[in-house]
Amino acid sequence: MLVLGLETSCDETGVALYDTGRGLLADALFSQVDIHVEYGGVVPELASRDHIRKALPLLDQVLADAGCAAGDIDGVAYTAGPGLVGALMVGATLGRALAWGWGVPALGVHHMEGHLLAPMLEAEPPQFPFVALLVSGGHTQLVRVDAIGRYRILGESLDDAAGEAFDKAAKMLGLPYPGGPHIARLAGHGTPGRFDFPRPMVNRPGLDFSFSGLKTHTLNTVEQCRAGGRLSERDACDIAAAFEEAVVATLVIKCRRALRQEHLKRLVIAGGVSANRTLRSRLQQALAREGARVYYPAPQYCTDNGAMIAYAGAVRLAAGQVDPPEAPVRPRWPMEELPPLAVAGG
């Protein structure tokens, strides 16, 4: 089954073609970062308008790259939520219109399920069950995954998401949006240990996160270092290193705790922050010591992309799941509300 995937939930237009027999055939992405950078964050209306401009040219591109014709497509998957309502509506309206015109089924995909399943596109995908750490700009969640659609939230952020914390810390250091990659770059030049930032909530039992205290600590440190003048390059790098270290250490502690609690040895990390190299290598080291293994998507499939939506949609469409034309987009959509995958023929 050949499925077209459309991702338009935020500031990336992603379009991909996934075939349940042949795998990922083509994938194209347009990032709107340059459009939003001057505002220091995503402007929803500008995001929606640009998705309208880019979606069809990207569709032509993936068809050409895959050597396919529109008539070969057997189903359309679009991100139905969570995300910005206007941006979601662009993908949903286009996806349903195309599906209707082509006479094929359409399905709204949950953006975080897309992230969660992105490691399935890799050569050695994880087996179920596993624990997933979803770390993006809008979510920080630990999820027990028993099968597709069988999700139990083990813990989540009580305030900012991890990616949001990276973005806010970057802003304090005068770095552009989205801040995660910039913090990571500066952290690479920082002196480890010069500043010791608090690791939020690690001494409390449970698997929830909170990044607001770390944010305040970062701001206070920036202000102390500035002390009337400009922040020096060295101070900025050392603060970035301390911030990244605190977030990574916290995530590693909670992931190990979640695996122990669930008696599992497989961890999946996904979402934009899972592109962070320090997080990837530290988790790998920490888990290897316990005979556990970490799985993550290729870097280009950590941040938003169409391939993950095409994959998640293809699995569900192939199992017979379809959305009616009037299905609403869901700007807020708890992942636990997703139905389990239908058993083929059942």
Which spans in the chain are helix H?
33-36, 44-66, 85-102, 111-117, 162-172, 180-187, 212-226, 233-262, 277-288, 306-318
Query: What residues form DSSP beta bridges with 7?
Result: 14
Q: Measured between alpha carbons, how far is 245 from 217 in angstroms, rounded to an integer?
A: 14
For position 301 contacting ligand KG4 by CB under 6 A, the verdict is: no
For position 157 contacting Zn ion by CB under 5 A, the verdict is: no
Q: Which does 73 bind (CB under 5 to 8 A by kind): ligand KG4, Zn ion, none?
A: none
For position 190 contacting ligand KG4 by CB under 6 A, the verdict is: no
Stretch that binds ligand KG4, among 18-26, 102-110, 179-187, 259-267 (CB under 6 A): 179-187
Q: In this complex, which beta carbon is closest to Zn ion, that of residue 79 or of residue 221? A: 79
Give 274-296 as a DSSP string. GG-HHHHHHHHHHHHTTT-EEE-
Q: Measured between alpha carbons, how far is 86 from 109 in angstroms, rounded to an integer?
A: 16
For position 211 contacting ligand KG4 by CB under 6 A, the verdict is: no
10's CB contacts (< 8 A; 6+ apart) are 42, 47, 83, 84, 87, 137, 138, 304
Q: Which of 4, 304, 312, 338 binds Zn ion (CB under 5 A)?
A: 304
Q: Which does 105 bind (CB under 5 to 8 A by kind): ligand KG4, Zn ion, none?
A: none
Total residues binding ligand KG4 (CB under 6 A): 20
Q: In this complex, which beta carbon is closest to Zn ion, that of residue 59 or of residue 109? A: 109
For position 105 contacting ligand KG4 by CB under 6 A, the verdict is: no
Chain residues binding Zn ion by CB under 5 A are 136, 304
Binding site for ligand KG4 (CB under 6 A): 10, 136-138, 163-164, 166-167, 178-181, 184, 271-273, 275-276, 303-304
